[in-house]
Amino acid sequence: MGAPAEPWADAAAEKRLAAESRLRALLFVAQSAGLMVLSGVFWASGWSRALAEGMASRFPDAVAAWPLLRAAYVALAVAGYECLMFPLSVWESIAEGKRPEERFGRWLLRHAGLVAVEAALLAGGFTALYAAARALPGTWWFAATGGYAVLALGVGEWAPTILLPRLLPPREIDDPALLEAVREAGRAFGREVAGICEWDVPLNDEELPVARLVGAGRRVKVAFPEGLPKRVPRKALVFLAARKMAWGAHVVNVRLQIVRTLFAGAVFFFAGRVVQPIALRGGLAGGAFALGAFPLLVMALFGFAGIAGLFVNALARRLELRADALATARLGGPAALERHFRELYADRPFQLSYPWWQTLFRTVPSPVRRLAAIRR
Encode pLDDT of 239-252 as tens digits.
999 998 888 765 56
User: In 3D, which of 221, 269, 275 has the Cα closest to residue 244?
Assistant: 221
Q: What is the pLDDT of residues 338-375, one digit of tens each?
A: 999 999 999 888 889 989 999 999 999 999 999 999 98
Determine the angle formed by the axes of helices 47-58 and 65-84, rounding to 10 degrees: 140
CA distance linking residue 4 with residue 350, whole number of Å: 12
Could you report the per-residue pLDDT of 171-180, keeping only the tens digit for each? 999 999 999 9
Q: What is the pLDDT of residue 203?
A: 47
How confident is the model over 186-190, as a mean pLDDT?
88
Residue 111 and residue 57 in contact, taking contact as beta carbons nearer than 8 Å = no
In tens, the pLDDT along 85-126 reads 888 888 877 766 554 455 777 778 877 888 888 889 899 999
Average pLDDT of the chain is 87
Give CA–CA dist 94/52, Å, rounded.
36
Q: Over the range 276-304, which residues count as b (16 or more CB within 10 Å of their CB) and which as e?
A: bebbeebebebbbbbbbbbbbbbbbbbbb
- pLDDT for the residue 4: 64
Chain segment 217-247, per-residue pLDDT in tens: 788 999 999 899 999 999 999 999 999 888 8
Residue 115 near residue 79 (C-beta atoms within 8 A): yes
pTM strictly above 0.85: yes
pLDDT of 256 higher than 90: no
State the pairing for strand pair 192-199/219-225. parallel
Residues in the chain: 376
d(CA 159, CA 278): 39
What is the model's pLDDT at position 284?
A: 92
Contacts of 329 (CB under 8 A, 6+ apart): none
* pLDDT score of 169: 86
- Which of 60-69, 160-169, 194-203, 277-286 has the highest mean predicted lDDT (pLDDT)? 277-286
Query: Pick from 346, 334, 345: which is nearest to 370 by CA?
Result: 334
